[in-house]
Amino acid sequence: MPDRYPFSLPPLPYAYDALEPIISKENIYRHYNQYAQGYVDRLNQTLSEYPQFQDWSLKALVVYADSFPIGIRTQIHNYAGGLYNHILYFGSVSEKRNTYPSGALLRELNRTYGSFEKFQTAFKSCALSVAGSGNAWLTYNAACRLQIICTSNQDTPPLSILNPLLVVDLWEHAYYHTFYFDRETYLDNWMKVVDWDIVSARYSC
């Protein structure tokens, strides 16, 4: 995946129907090809007129979005953030079912939340508290401490101090074609397809 302009989506690491019946083929297809690709297209269009920023990495665009010229600040914030969030979202699930955290991540989940099941409850509670569109994240800091963070729209956690492990998309386009407006059922089902082997490997502590 290019980490500089022009950006592109990484290939989807599974077939469109790989998450069925938990998340429908139509839902994944539309989400990836229309919504996620839309952030790529709009980010590239914005940067096409500003060659001085075309060598910036996606993470740098997200972290320093508020320092951009006021004329493109909002666009960079939304489009770079939207692309970053979607890449992590699609890369955190797989055709596997009901995997379990392992190693250092499982130990830290148990230390922080008491058990994996209690973490799931806390994560879901945070996600359900988001009014409107947003994302729910599991992150860790330089001291390897875990933190659940919920953000609005295409905001991200402060990436200069937190490392995202996992994100769930709470925009209605992420689940409407499968669950309509039932966010809670979406979250319960999404947790079944989180690939904890991948997420555990991201926890470099």
Is 3.55.40.20 the CATH classification of the domain at 103-202?
yes
Q: Tens digit of pLDDT for each residue in 83-137? A: 999 999 999 999 999 999 999 999 999 999 999 999 999 999 999 999 999 999 9
Q: Is 173 marked as binding a ligand?
A: yes
**Token pair recorded at residue 196:** 């904890």
Please, what is the Cα angle at 200 between 198 and 204, to 5 degrees? Answer: 110
Q: Is 169 marked as binding a ligand?
A: yes
Helix (H, G, I), strand (E, B) or coil at 146: strand
Q: What is the pTM of this model?
A: 0.96
The CATH number fitting domain 25-90, selected from 1.10.287.990, 3.30.530.20, 1.10.287.3510, 3.20.20.70: 1.10.287.990
Q: Tens digit of pLDDT for each residue in 78-97? A: 999 999 999 999 999 999 99
At residue 148, φ and ψ (nearest 5 deg) are -90, 130
Q: Is 177 marked as binding a ligand?
A: no
Residue 76 and residue 134: Cα distance in Å, rounded?
17
Where in the sequence of the chain do the CATH 3.55.40.20 domains occur?
103-202
Q: Is 86 marked as binding a ligand?
A: yes
**Token pair recorded at residue 110:** 């148990």
- For each successive 10 residues of the chain (205 residues), what is the average pLDDT? 88 97 95 98 98 97 96 97 98 97 99 99 99 98 99 98 98 93 97 98 97
Residue with tokens 């729910």: 136
